């Protein structure tokens, strides 16, 4: 009984393997020149910045700062590749969200207070 079930399972797996390999095409790769790569990188950077400007929260912040979001999108479309890379570098280096060290410090202080009060035994095994 177990041997028959194993044979059926093996046959199903073999059929699945051959069916899947026949349907899914093989991956292909080729070398590209530098100009093509730079054009692709420029377009992806420009698309990322345009998507950023089109977000609702960014549009609200631009309006709050007195900037027309359509003018900002037009300026992004007119940027040179050097300006795009400089702007993308500045955006990537800006912090996102709260400072991690502050959050970790607050958690540590809460754990110490709970340990002193005897509510937890966090630091006894350390």
Domain assignment of residue 106, yes or no? no
Q: Please give the residue range of the domain that contains residue 85.
A: 39-94
pLDDT in tens, 67-101: 888 888 888 778 777 777 777 777 666 665 556 67
Kindly tell me the number of DSSP H helices and DSSP E strands found in the chain.
Answer: 6, 0
pLDDT of res. 94: 62
Domain assignment of residue 55, yes or no? yes
Domain assignment of residue 60, yes or no? yes
Confidence (pTM): 0.41
Q: Which of 48-52, 71-75, 112-116, 118-122 has the lowest mean pLDDT?
A: 118-122
Domain assignment of residue 48, yes or no? yes
Q: How many domains does the chain have?
A: 1
Domain assignment of residue 53, yes or no? yes
Domain assignment of residue 65, yes or no? yes
Domain assignment of residue 113, yes or no? no
Domain assignment of residue 70, yes or no? yes
pLDDT in tens, 22-50: 787 777 888 888 888 777 777 777 787 88
């Amino acid at each position: 009984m177990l041997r028959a079930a194993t044979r059926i399972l093996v046959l199903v797996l073999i059929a699945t393997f051959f069916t899947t390999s026949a349907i899914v095409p093989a991956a292909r790769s080729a070398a590209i020149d530098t100009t093509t790569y730079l054009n692709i990188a420029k377009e992806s950077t420009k698309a990322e910045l345009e998507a950023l400007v089109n977000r609702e929260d960014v549009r609200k912040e631009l309006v709050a700062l007195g900037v027309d979001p359509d003018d900002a999108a037009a300026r992004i479309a007119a940027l040179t590749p050097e300006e795009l890379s400089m702007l993308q570098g500045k955006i990537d280096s800006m912090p996102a969200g709260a400072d991690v060290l502050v959050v970790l410090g607050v958690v540590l202080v809460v754990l110490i207070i709970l340990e002193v009060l005897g509510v937890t035994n966090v630091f006894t095994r350390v």
